[in-house]
A = this chain, B = another copy of it.
Amino acid sequence: MFVENEWKIIEDSFDANRHQMAESIFSIGNGHMGQRANFEEAYSGKTLPGNYIGGVFFPDKTRVGWWKNGYPDYFAKVVNAPTWIGIHSWIDGELLDLANVTILSFERVLNMKEGTLSKTCVVEMKNGAQVEIKSTRFISMTESEIGVIHYELTALNFDCTLCMSSLIKSDVRNQDSNYDECFWQSIAQINTEKECVAVDKTIPNPFGVPQFSVATAMKNVFSRDIITVHKTEGGILSEIAGMKMRKGEPVTLDKYAAQVSTLNYEEQELAQIALQRAEDAAKKGYESLLKSHKKVWAEKWKQSDIVIKGDVKAQQGIRFNIFQLQQTYTGEDSRLNIGPKGFTGEKYGGVTYWDTEAFCFPFYLSTSPETVSRNLLLYRYKQLDRAIANAEKLGFTRGAALYPMVTMTGDECHNEWEITFEEIHRNGAIAHAIYDYVTYTGDRTYLVEYGLEVLIGISRFWAQRVTLSPTKRKYMILGVTGPNEYENNVSNNWYTNYYARWCLRYTLEIITWTKRVASEKYAELQKKISFDEREIGLWSDIVNNMYLPHDDKYGIILQQDGYLDKEPVTVADLPADQRPINQHWSWDRILRSPYIKQADVVQGLYVFEDEFELETIQKNFNFYEARCVHESSLSPCIHSVVASKIGNEEKAYELYLRTARLDLDDYNKEAHEGLHITSMSGSWLAIVKGFAGMRVANNSLHFSPYIPKEWNSYSFSINYRGAVLTVTVSKKNVTMSLTTGTIPSIQVYGTEYKLNTGDNIEIELKK
C-alpha cells in the first residue's frame, strides 16, 4: 500500500477511499499535542478531522443500555480541539478542493527520521488551472505548544489570481459524542492585523469536572509583502491574502500556530500567551525551528532505533512503531499518558488503559531517560486517591485501591460491568510496573517515596477481593474477567489469582525492606494511610493459600475453573470464514467456546517466567497458543516473546509479523479510526525481549539472542542506567557496543561481560 522505505512512509498516489486510513498513518505529534494528517486544503471528501491536546478532555455523559450499580457517570474523551492547519485557496475564484480536482501527481511522505509530514501534488482544477502544492508541517519537539507549516503554491500553466485564506477553526466536533453535542463553546475571538487568536472552552458538565479552555493563535508569514484582510465568521477566523500569481512563480506561506490550554495556564492569560508563542515562533523562523526539532528526533533515534538488514518492510514497520510511540508520549508531563490511539483518532477516548503498564512501559523504560518511565509511574501515584475512591464505589474499604480500567483523571470511565468491575488484573500490571522500574533502573528510592503507598493500596484491594472457599480452604478470586476478554465473570482466573498473590508478596517484601532502610519514612507512611501491620497477617495467609487452578491430566495450568469442560477443539478446527470470531459469532457463542482472545496463561508466564520451569512454559504455551485466536492487537507480541523463550523461533517470527505492520498494512481494516499505538510496543518487545532475549535480573543485563532466518542482521539501542548500549545480531555474531556510560554486568548466553564507554565485544551467535 505504501512504498517500501527504511525511514519514510510514502504514499505515491491518492485514493480517496484510503484517505481516512492515511490520515491516521501520517499522524504527527510531540507528546503534548498531536493530530491526524488532515489536509491543509479544503477537502469535501470523507475525512476524520482530529487535532488533540494531551490531557484536555470532556466528560461525556455515560451512555448505557441498562444501568448497573457502580457505573461511572461519565466517559472522559480527549476533545477534538480547534484546528490551526487550514490553508484554503481560490484560483481565479475557484476553491481548491482536493476532492474536486483531477490529481495529476501526488506524494505524501512521513519522514520518521525528522518527524515531518510533507505533501507534494499537482492538480488540475475545473477552470483548467494546474497548480502545484508543496507543504511540510511538524509539531515541534522543542516548543511543545507550536505547530508549523511551510506551504507553497505554484500556478503551472497560466497566470491567475490567488486568494489564500489561513484559518483557525473552532467549531470542531467529536464524532463519538454520546449525545451529539459539540463539546466547545467560543469565549473569545480576536482577529486583527496584529493578533489572531480564538479562545474556546469546553461546555459545562454536571460531574464537577473542571472545564478546559484552549487558545489557538496563528501568525502567517507570506513570501510576498502583501496586505491581508481578517474575517471572523461563526467558529472560523481567517486571514486572507489576495494577489496575482505568475505562472511558475511560487507563493509561499509559513504558518506558525500556537495552542495553549488551562492545563498549564490561567484562562485569562491564555490568549496573550498563545499570541506570544506564535509571534516568538515566527521570529525564530521555519528553518530554525525545524533544525532543533530534527535534533530531538536524532537523539530519540539514537536511544531507541532498531535497524533490520535484509528486510525493508520489517525495517519500515518497526521504525513506524517506534516513531509513533515516541511522538505520542515524551514523558515530560506526569499528568499525561498513552491513549490506545495516541493522537491519531478519537476511539477509546484517548484515555489511559492497562496497556500502558503491561505493554508500553518496558519500551519507554529501555529507550528513554529514566524520568520518562518514572513519570508514567507518577501518573498512577497521583491518581491513587481516585483509585481508592473507585474501590469505595464498589464497596471496598480502608484504603483499598482499584485502578480504573479506563481513565483520564483516575476516575473510572468504563461501563461494561464484565470489564469495569471484573478486569481487576489491571491492578497487578500497575504494581508490576513499579517492580519493572526498580529492577531496570536500580532506583529503589522510588519505592520509599511513592511506590510502597501504591503497593499497599493495591494489596489492600486484593486482600478484600479474595474469598476463602469454605469447601477448598483456599483463597479464591470469584467473578473476574482476565486479559482474555472472551471469558467473562469466571472464577479463579489463574492469571488474576497468580498476579494477586505476587502483588501481596512483593508488597510484603518491600514493606520489610522499607522498614529496614527507611524506618522513619515508613512510619510516616503508616500514619498517612492508617496502615496497621495486623493487615499483614491476612496477606501472608493469602500468599500461602492462594488457589491456583491446575489440571493434572493435561499437566497444564488451568486458565480458569471449568475451562476444560469446553469443547475440545483448537484454532485449527475453526473454518477460515468464521474468523475473526468477534465479527462472525454472537457473544454467547464466543463465551462458551474454548477460543481465547489473548491467552492469560501465556501472558502470566511472560511476566513471571522466572518462577517456572522451561518445560512448564513450553507445555502451556503449546496448549494455549493452539486455542488463541489473537483477536486483541496486544496478543501476538507476548506470545512471540514466549515462543522465543522456549526456542520456537518459527512461531516467534510468525507472531512477530502480526504486530510488526498491523496498521501500515491495515490487517484489521480499522486504521482509518486511528492507530494501535499501545500495541506498537509489541513489535519492539518481540525483537528486544524475544529475539534478543533481553532481561534484567540482579543488576545484570541478560541477552540470549538469535536471528530470524529472514533477516541478515538486526540491531537495537537501549538506554540502561545512563549508558547507551547497541546490540547487533548478525547471522554469525552478537555485537555489544557501548557509546555512553558503563555497564558493570552484561550476560550473553550466561557469560558475564563488563562494558565501558567505547567497548565493543563480539560473541558468536549460538545456534
User: Smallest distance from the beta carbon of A489 to chain B beta carbons, Å?
Assistant: 5
Is A566 interfacial (CB 8 A cutoff)?
yes
* Contact between chains at A416 and B65 (CB < 8 Å): yes
**Distance A564 CA – B474 CA, assembled complex (angstroms):** 12
**Distance A564 CA – B491 CA, assembled complex (angstroms):** 12
Chain A, interface size category, equals: 35 or more
Smallest Cβ-Cβ distance to A424: which chain B residue: B588
* Contact between chains at A588 and B417 (CB < 8 Å): yes
* Contact between chains at B587 and A421 (CB < 8 Å): yes
* Contact between chains at A582 and B69 (CB < 8 Å): yes
Is A592 interfacial (CB 8 A cutoff)?
yes
Is A267 interfacial (CB 8 A cutoff)?
no
Is A583 interfacial (CB 8 A cutoff)?
yes
Note all chain B residues with C-beta closer than 8 A to A421.
586-588
* Contact between chains at B565 and A489 (CB < 8 Å): no
Copies of this chain, complex-wide, total 2
8 Å CB contact of A561 from B65, B479, B562: B562
* Contact between chains at A467 and B567 (CB < 8 Å): yes
* Contact between chains at A564 and B470 (CB < 8 Å): yes
Chain A residues 227-272 with CB under 8 Å of chain B are none
Smallest Cβ-Cβ distance to A479: which chain B residue: B592
Instruction: Provide the A557-586 mask, 1 if CB < 8 A to any CB of B, else 0.
Output: 000011011111000000000000011111
Instruction: Provide the A457-494 mask, 1 if CB < 8 A to any CB of B, else 0.
Output: 00000000001111110001011000000001111000
* Contact between chains at B471 and A585 (CB < 8 Å): no
**Distance A582 CA – B394 CA, assembled complex (angstroms):** 12
* Contact between chains at A589 and B491 (CB < 8 Å): no
Note all chain B residues with C-beta closer than 8 A to A567.
467-468, 470
8 Å CB contact of A66 from B416, B469, B491: B416
Note all chain B residues with C-beta closer than 8 A to A467.
565-567, 592
Smallest Cβ-Cβ distance to A468: which chain B residue: B567
Is A226 interfacial (CB 8 A cutoff)?
no
* Contact between chains at A591 and B66 (CB < 8 Å): no
Note all chain B residues with C-beta closer than 8 A to A70.
586-589
Is A62 interfacial (CB 8 A cutoff)?
yes
**Distance A63 CA – B488 CA, assembled complex (angstroms):** 22
8 Å CB contact of A568 from B417, B470, B566, B592: B470
* Contact between chains at B586 and A69 (CB < 8 Å): yes
8 Å CB contact of A472 from B62, B565, B583: B565
Is A673 interfacial (CB 8 A cutoff)?
no
Chain A residues 521-580 with CB under 8 Å of chain B are 553, 561-562, 564-568
Note all chain B residues with C-beta closer than 8 A to A12.
none
Contacts known (A65-B64, A587-B417); A565 close to B479, Cβ less than 8 A = no
**Distance A421 CA – B589 CA, assembled complex (angstroms):** 9
Is A194 interfacial (CB 8 A cutoff)?
no
**Distance A469 CA – B551 CA, assembled complex (angstroms):** 14
Is A754 interfacial (CB 8 A cutoff)?
no
User: Smallest distance from the beta carbon of A542 to chain B beta carbons, Å?
Assistant: 15
* Contact between chains at A471 and B565 (CB < 8 Å): yes
User: Smallest distance from the beta carbon of A573 to chain B beta carbons, Å?
Assistant: 13
* Contact between chains at B589 and A395 (CB < 8 Å): yes
Is A80 interfacial (CB 8 A cutoff)?
no
* Contact between chains at A68 and B564 (CB < 8 Å): no
Contacts known (A488-B489, A566-B478, A592-B478); A587 close to B471, Cβ less than 8 A = no
* Contact between chains at B471 and A553 (CB < 8 Å): yes
Smallest Cβ-Cβ distance to A63: which chain B residue: B65
User: Smallest distance from the beta carbon of A400 to chain B beta carbons, Å?
Assistant: 13
Chain A residues 388-404 with CB under 8 Å of chain B are 393-395
Smallest Cβ-Cβ distance to A565: which chain B residue: B469
* Contact between chains at A479 and B417 (CB < 8 Å): no
* Contact between chains at A69 and B587 (CB < 8 Å): yes
Is A189 interfacial (CB 8 A cutoff)?
no
Is A737 interfacial (CB 8 A cutoff)?
no
Note all chain B residues with C-beta closer than 8 A to A491.
562, 565
Smallest Cβ-Cβ distance to A394: which chain B residue: B586
Note all chain B residues with C-beta closer than 8 A to A728.
none
Is A681 interfacial (CB 8 A cutoff)?
no
Indicate the member of A421, A476, A565, A582 with the most B CB atoms within 10 Å: A565
Smallest Cβ-Cβ distance to A469: which chain B residue: B565
Is A415 interfacial (CB 8 A cutoff)?
yes
Instruction: Provide the A121-145 mask, 1 if CB < 8 A to any CB of B, else 0.
Output: 0000000000000000000000000
Smallest Cβ-Cβ distance to A490: which chain B residue: B489
**Distance A403 CA – B383 CA, assembled complex (angstroms):** 47
**Distance A564 CA – B567 CA, assembled complex (angstroms):** 25
Instruction: Provide the A65-82 mask, 1 if CB < 8 A to any CB of B, else 0.
Output: 110111000000000000
Is A4 interfacial (CB 8 A cutoff)?
no
Note all chain B residues with C-beta closer than 8 A to A64.
63-65
**Distance A197 CA – B687 CA, assembled complex (angstroms):** 77
Is A422 interfacial (CB 8 A cutoff)?
yes
* Contact between chains at B489 and A591 (CB < 8 Å): yes
Note all chain B residues with C-beta closer than 8 A to A590.
69
User: Smallest distance from the beta carbon of A497 to chain B beta carbons, Å?
Assistant: 12
**Distance A65 CA – B422 CA, assembled complex (angstroms):** 17
Chain A residues 41-70 with CB under 8 Å of chain B are 62-66, 68-70
Contacts known (A65-B62, A65-B64, A467-B567); A589 close to B394, Cβ less than 8 A = yes
**Distance A502 CA – B734 CA, assembled complex (angstroms):** 68
* Contact between chains at B479 and A591 (CB < 8 Å): yes
User: Smallest distance from the beta carbon of A751 to chain B beta carbons, Å?
Assistant: 46
* Contact between chains at A561 and B564 (CB < 8 Å): no
**Distance A585 CA – B591 CA, assembled complex (angstroms):** 26
**Distance A568 CA – B589 CA, assembled complex (angstroms):** 32
**Distance A476 CA – B564 CA, assembled complex (angstroms):** 12
**Distance A65 CA – B68 CA, assembled complex (angstroms):** 12
User: Smallest distance from the beta carbon of A71 to chain B beta carbons, Å?
Assistant: 8
8 Å CB contact of A479 from B68, B476, B584, B588: B588
User: Smallest distance from the beta carbon of A558 to chain B beta carbons, Å?
Assistant: 11
Note all chain B residues with C-beta closer than 8 A to A583.
69
Contacts known (A553-B471, A592-B478, A592-B479); A68 close to B489, Cβ less than 8 A = no
* Contact between chains at B65 and A415 (CB < 8 Å): yes
Note all chain B residues with C-beta closer than 8 A to A489.
418, 488-490, 591
User: Smallest distance from the beta carbon of A119 to chain B beta carbons, Å?
Assistant: 36
Note all chain B residues with C-beta closer than 8 A to A416.
65-66
**Distance A69 CA – B62 CA, assembled complex (angstroms):** 21
User: Smallest distance from the beta carbon of A394 to chain B beta carbons, Å?
Assistant: 4
* Contact between chains at A393 and B592 (CB < 8 Å): no
- A–B Cβ pairs within 8 angstroms, 13 of them: A63-B64, A68-B587, A395-B585, A418-B489, A467-B565, A470-B565, A478-B592, A479-B588, A479-B591, A488-B489, A489-B591, A491-B562, A561-B562
Other than A69-B586, A489-B591, give 11 A-B pairs with Cβ distance below 8 A: A63-B63, A64-B65, A68-B586, A69-B584, A394-B588, A421-B586, A479-B591, A489-B489, A489-B490, A491-B565, A561-B562
